[in-house]
Each structure stands twice: as C-alpha cells, then as structure tokens.
Amino acid sequence: MEKNIIKARLSSLFFMSFLQVALIATCCRGKSQQPPKKHVPFFIFGDSFLDAGNNNYINTSTFDQANFWPYGETYFKFPTGRFSDGRLVSDFISQRANLPLIPPFLQPGFRQYYHGVNFASAGAGALPETLQGFVIDLKKQLRYYNKVESWLRQKLGNDEAKMTISRAVYLFSIGSNDYMSPFLTNSTVLHNYSDFTYVEMVIGNITTVITEIYRRGGRKFAFINLPDLGCLPGMRIIKPENNGSCLEEATSLATLHNQALSKLLFELENRLKGIKYSLFDFNSNLRQRMHHPSKYGFKEGEAACCGTGQYRGVFSCGGKRRVKEFRLCKNPNHYVFWDSIHLTEKIYKQLANQMWSGTSNSHDVGPYNMKKLFQIH
C-alpha cells in the first residue's frame, strides 16, 4: 500500500515538475530590471541549512543534492534542491524583508543580482578540505560574491554600489560539515589536531571571509550557530554500541565552535568600525524542540520524517543515495527533523520568526535581530 502511494505521488510530481521549475526560476529572478531605491539586498553563505539549489548545478554526488522527490513536497510541490520538505530559514527571512526568494548563484539564467544572491552549498565547510571536490567551499562562495559585487559596481556605478553593499545583510550558516564529515566519511583529520586547534582553523577561515566582505563595504552580518551535532538522527547511529545516544565527540566540537564564534563576533564588533551583527542561538532553540516537541506543535522531536533505520537516521530519503530503502511520514508538520540531518519547513519558519523579531533579553538572538539589521541604514 505504501509503495503504491509513493508511486502515485511520484507520477503526480513528474507530470508538473518541469513547468514548475521554470515558474519558480522566473519568479525568483523578479520582474524588474532595476532595484527599488534604498533596497536592502540579502546575500546568503553556507551549507545545506541555507542551500537553495546551487548543488543542482555542480558535479557532485546525491549525498550533497536534494533535487529529487520527496524534497520540496510541502511548499513548492517539487524538489528545488533545498534539503527540506519546503522553505528554509533564509526563504522566510526574505519574505519577511519583502524580498523575492533569493535564487542560487548558479541557477541558469539568473543574472539580476539587485535583491541578493544565495551562494550556499550543501556539504560546504569553512575549510576547503571539507568534502573537497564535491561542494562549493566558503572561500569559493566568497569568490562568487566578488563577481556579484563587480556586477553591482558596473550596473549601479561605484557610489550607488558602495551604498547598496553597505545596506546589504550577509547571512552565514557554516561549520557543521567541518565537524560532521570526519565521522561520516571515516576521515582521520581529527586525529591530527586537538579539538581546540581544529575549531581555531574553522573560525579562522570564517574570520577571513567576514573581514574581506567588510573590507569591500559590507557592514551587517547575521550568523546561525551550530546545532547539537551529536544529537542529529544521522549522528546518533554512527556508533551502534551507543544504542542511539548522542555522539558526544561531535557535540563537544559544536559547543567549542559556538563559544569561539560568539567570542569572535564580540571582538570584531570592537575592532571593525561600523560593523553590526545578529547571532541566533540555533543550538538551544533546536534542543528545546527536540526535548519538548508538543510545546511547539510537534509530535516527534528525535526521529526524522524521511529515512530508514533507528531514528530514521540513515541518510536514504528519496532512495537516490547508497541506501535505497526509506520510509516517509504522512505529515512532516508533526516532525522536527525532515531527514537524518535537516529540518522541516515548519521548524524553519519558527526559527526564522525568532531570528526576525526575537530580543536579546530572551537570549535567542542578539545584539540585533534580523528585522533591525534590515532596517539600519
């Protein structure tokens, strides 16, 4: 019965998918060739928590792609390349800021960058060695941004481009893959460094990118810290002897990273004149929903909607990866996790709302929320 349902849904999907891809590409490019005055562009950097489809257009594996059913089934009704059943945090922020959904940089035909660009790539890390050859690492994302900046200067002139770049908001979600990939790929890289030194390397590369964007005129930055990596469904099953317990080694690295990121941003605020930032505590907000799902409107906080095995932690959603078997829940809105690593649209919407209008008093976001960053000129 379940197989018949899946086949029926697949048939419906592919009947309309080509037309829908064309439609979303058109809507995301926007109708206007010129930007509204004093608009605030939105530039997005990072990994699969923010990737809107860049990995659709690179030579990589299906482990780093989500351009197949059932990804995208809830909102778009077809797969866009987003690792969720629907929209991501960055999509909800775009809508709150009265922007179109920001398209991926590599989307064919996308050449109007006035509203911003999404450079994020699933699997990407701050370190170029992380999943090297399969993803767009953070420094390459920066090189893409430099091309967009040159385009803005050419189209707007230096003075207007300078003001546009300074008004823009730059959102980052990066680091998870630097710490998870050694466990998922059996890499020995973590044996070569102390945890502290390895985190320093990751933070160092993030610092380089922030300071380069600042040097080029960027002033408003937003960051999402790392979730409790060891407690993601896909990380819980790495060591069978743990019987589904969190992978403490990964949790420890995420904790060290978040402490270092918070310290870095405080230091940059004191060192770089005019810089403003928002840091969202993704870690604690996700943990609250995992431990108390019903409080936030969920029924399941630990197991994924799509996958197989314990916690549905095997990364098999869609049947296009190494393991073909997968089970799909009836209602993603009941789940915190969409697949073994990523979240459902419902929780992304909740988190985006906190990022947009949360207060520093609640310790969710600070010193600025996203709404304030977009308002500051």
pLDDT at 377: 82
- Confidence bin at 361 (pLDDT 50/70/90): confident
pLDDT at 36: 63
From 158, 114, 253, 118, select the one nearest 197 (Cα to Cα). Answer: 253
What whole-number distance in Å separates Cα of residue 40 and Cα of residue 99?
9
- How many Cβ atoms are within 10 Å of 255's Cβ, its own excluded? 18
- The mean of the pLDDT values for the chain is 93
Contact 354, 285 (CB under 8 A): yes
Q: pTM for the full model? A: 0.92
| Dihedral angle computed from the Cα positions of residues 371, 372, 374 and 375, in that order, rounded to the nearest 10 degrees | 120
Which of 47, 85, 281, 339 is an active site residue?
Answer: 339
**Tokens for 326?**
């997968």
pLDDT digits (tens, 9 = 90+) for 196-228: 999 999 999 999 999 999 999 999 999 999 999
What whole-number distance in Å separates Cα of residue 338 and Cα of residue 344?
5
Is the pLDDT at 317 greater than 70? The verdict is: yes
Beta carbons within 8 Å of 207's beta carbon, 6+ residues apart: 264, 268
Is the pLDDT at 21 greater than 90? The verdict is: no
257 is catalytic: no
Which of 48, 121, 176, 316 is an active site residue?
Answer: 48
Domains and CATH numbers, the chain: 37-293+342-375 (3.40.50.1110)
pLDDT at 11: 44
What whole-number distance in Å separates Cα of residue 141 and Cα of residue 119?
6
334 is catalytic: no
Which of 64, 84, 316, 342 is an active site residue?
Answer: 342
pLDDT digits (tens, 9 = 90+) for 112-167: 999 999 999 999 999 999 999 999 999 999 999 999 999 999 999 999 999 999 99
115 is catalytic: no
What whole-number distance in Å separates Cα of residue 206 and Cα of residue 342?
22
